[in-house]
Amino acid sequence: MNFFNELTISTSFPVCYNLLPHYTAEGQKHAPLMNCVEEALSDGRIGSFFLSDHPAHPQEISSLQLAEDIIAAGGEPLISLALTFYDKNTVIEKLQQYCQMGVEQFLFVSGEYPAMPDNKQTKPAFDLDCVQLLMLLDELGISAGLKNSPEPKNVIGEEINIVKGCAVSPFKSLESEQVWQYEKLKRKIAVGADFVMTQLGYDIRKFDELVRFCTLQNITAPLVGNIFITDRHTAQLIRERNIPGVKMPDRLLQTLIQEENDPPKQFTRSAQTLAVLKGLGYHGTLIGGNSSDFSAVKLVLDEAEGFQSDWQNFLVDLDYSDSSFYYFQKDSRPGLNNNQPSPVEPKHFPYPMYSFSYFVDWMVYLPRGPLFKMTGRFCRFCNGRKFWHSSIWLLEFLSKGPLYGCKMCGDCVLYACGFLCYQSGCPKKMVNGPCGGSINGYCEVFPDKKLCFWVRVYKQMKGVSQHVTFSAPPIPARGSQLNKTSSWINFFLGKDHRKMHFEDD
């Protein structure tokens, strides 16, 4: 039985070993990692191994090779596939490489922004996000044409049954970050995510919040809590490297510094966390640390076995709550919430630019808008007439460039992003909600300098509703052929993601 199947069994609480987390990949070598696998398999409590397919790995570590060796040793790999460098075709090829060697379980993440974007080798693509990949896989899975494809090596056929996990961070500090995280989670589930794994975090109240949110939203996909055995050195590393989206609470860091001469305490804390996650209703856990052998994980599992019935007693010690926003109100018990949603910031008056854009959108893009037909006719007239086509392109470029920072991507989604342009506003081009990397509202690429694009979208949308949600359905991956073309013409010709059928009667 694989990790995912075990997650769905209420009496089971499977443990996946975080063998190759990308943030500690330096210094790790293939042979010691395989020793860990063999030790864990002979221990008998772990059968699944989490590997991050990430370009940050040193060259001597190939996730593909490691996955193959894990399968040969009798284990099962769970691959965390970062989409940073993949476009639609290359991600399918990559998935197929893994599938061909027998890998069935994946976690899809947007991936970090690479540290050296100027280097061509590390230039990110950010062509599709997790929501778009899930939509694409769904499309491929149901396409009869692909099932009979003469070139099955380029597609994932119906016989390949993969488990698709998604990540969420409940550990965000601000309302504008946290609400989007959960809205995006709803999107991921709606487009086919099979299980949910938390990003790395230490705030037990936030772990509890995610369980309550899923219950509130009828999300039944299994939840996997992420535990990283953390000593003082690791905690300081997380701080120094500013690992995107990972928040190291001050109080935990201070405790770890004080405990430096008492290393077993870090294992006890992780074992208590494991017991608490199980008590809160998580279905399984991902566990790992910086140690290059299995002993640390083994110690945690050994200790946790004796802790389960006492899990509520650990809440006081593990209460590192320090966020300014929690989705639910605080319970009288430490470290927990009750089921009452917290109040959110009040709605404000719409910003002038938002109102202007909304008005233009209503006039031109909605079929009931007064300029819809006329603009549609004109765009269709321009199509195929070089002079007029270039003129309309120039008009779009000259108007939307200064107003929105338009990059002429050819598939406009301003209407879905609070009339802000994700192409110029988000370094990772996240169009279906934020990545998990923001810290205190700031973008992971420009910490303390530039607000996360989706935090800005949230502020825009507070002008429309107090309870902000996505205003449009999920946006599928953009066709690269639309690059540098006119989104106006594409819209009225039905070439963009909205596939508008313009009838000129």
Of 166 and 421, which has the nearer Cβ to ligand SF4? 421
Crossing angle of the two packed helices 63-73 and 88-100, in degrees rounded to 10: 30
Instruction: Please report which residue ranges of 385-502 form alpha helices under DSSP H.
Output: 386-404, 422-425, 453-461, 487-492
Crossing angle of the two packed helices 264-280 and 204-216, in degrees rounded to 10: 20
* Least distance from ligand SF4 to the Cβ atom of residue 308, Å: 37
Interacting positions 438-477 with ligand SF4 (CB under 6 A): 438, 443-445, 452-454
* Least distance from ligand SF4 to the Cβ atom of residue 446, Å: 7
- How far, CA to CA in Å, does 6 sit from each of 10, 48, 223? 8, 11, 12
* Least distance from ligand SF4 to the Cβ atom of residue 450, Å: 7
Angle at the Cα of 91 from the Cα atoms of 90 and 92, rounded to 5 degrees: 90
**Selected range binding ligand SF4 among 8-16, 151-159, 227-235, 427-435, rule: CB under 6 A:** 427-435
Interacting positions 381-410 with ligand SF4 (CB under 6 A): 400, 404, 406-409
* Least distance from ligand SF4 to the Cβ atom of residue 133, Å: 16
Output DSSP code: residue 281: T
Of 198 and 438, which has the nearer Cβ to ligand SF4? 438
**Could you tell me how far CA 222 lies from the centroid of its own chain?**
16
| Residue of 447, 393, 402 whose CA lies nearest to 424 | 402
* Least distance from ligand SF4 to the Cβ atom of residue 343, Å: 25
Ramachandran class of 54: left when φ > 0, alpha when ψ lies in -120 to 50, beta otherwise = beta
Of 216 and 366, which has the nearer Cβ to ligand SF4? 366
Of 324 and 483, which has the nearer Cβ to ligand SF4? 483
Residue 497 near residue 476, CB atoms below 8 Å: yes
Of 277 and 482, which has the nearer Cβ to ligand SF4? 482
228 binds ligand SF4 (CB under 6 A): no
**Could you tell me how far CA 399 lies from the centroid of its own chain?**
33
Of 428 and 459, which has the nearer Cβ to ligand SF4? 428
Phi and psi, residue 496, nearest 5°:
-90, -170
Cα 283 from Cα 9, distance rounded (Å): 8
Sole binder of ligand SF4 in the list 253, 414, 468, 477 (CB under 6 A): 414
Sole binder of ligand SF4 in the list 196, 301, 364, 412 (CB under 6 A): 412
Instruction: Give 138-147's long-range contacts (Cβ < 8 A, gap of 24+).
Output: 138/191, 138/192, 140/92
Sole binder of ligand SF4 in the list 78, 91, 109, 413 (CB under 6 A): 413
Instruction: Please report which residue ranges of 281-351 form alpha helices under DSSP H.
Output: 295-307
Sole binder of ligand SF4 in the list 423, 432, 460, 485 (CB under 6 A): 423
437 binds ligand SF4 (CB under 6 A): yes
Residue found by looking up tokens 């996730």 in the block: 63
- How far, CA to CA in Å, does 470 sit from each of 343, 405, 407, 424, 461? 19, 22, 23, 20, 9
Sole binder of ligand SF4 in the list 94, 428, 459, 498 (CB under 6 A): 428
Of 79 and 421, which has the nearer Cβ to ligand SF4? 421
Sole binder of ligand SF4 in the list 225, 427, 474, 476 (CB under 6 A): 427
* Least distance from ligand SF4 to the Cβ atom of residue 408, Å: 6
Instruction: Please report which residue ranges of 322-471 form alpha helices under DSSP H.
Output: 352-365, 372-382, 386-404, 422-425, 453-461
Interacting positions 480-499 with ligand SF4 (CB under 6 A): 487
**Selected range binding ligand SF4 among 131-139, 280-288, 330-338, 422-430, rule: CB under 6 A:** 422-430
**Selected range binding ligand SF4 among 11-19, 248-256, 286-294, 425-433, rule: CB under 6 A:** 425-433
Of 352 and 402, which has the nearer Cβ to ligand SF4? 402
* Least distance from ligand SF4 to the Cβ atom of residue 443, Å: 3
Of 23 and 282, which has the nearer Cβ to ligand SF4? 23
Sole binder of ligand SF4 in the list 336, 435, 461, 468 (CB under 6 A): 435
* Least distance from ligand SF4 to the Cβ atom of residue 340, Å: 29
3-class SS at 117?
coil
Total residues interacting with ligand SF4, rule: CB under 6 A? 26
C-alpha torsion sign, points 323, 459, 165, 9: positive
* Least distance from ligand SF4 to the Cβ atom of residue 203, Å: 19
Element (H, E) at 234: helix 232-241
Cα 283 from Cα 348, distance rounded (Å): 40
Residue found by looking up tokens 């491929």 in the block: 140
Of 14 and 434, which has the nearer Cβ to ligand SF4? 434
224 binds ligand SF4 (CB under 6 A): no
Q: Work out whether strand 105-109 and strand 337-341 pair parallel, antiparallel, or are unpaired.
A: unpaired
421 binds ligand SF4 (CB under 6 A): yes
- Please give the structure tokens belonging to residue 290: 């910086």
Give the footprint of ligand SF4 on this chain (CB under 6 A): 400, 404, 406-409, 412-414, 421, 423, 426-428, 430, 434-435, 437-438, 443-445, 452-454, 487
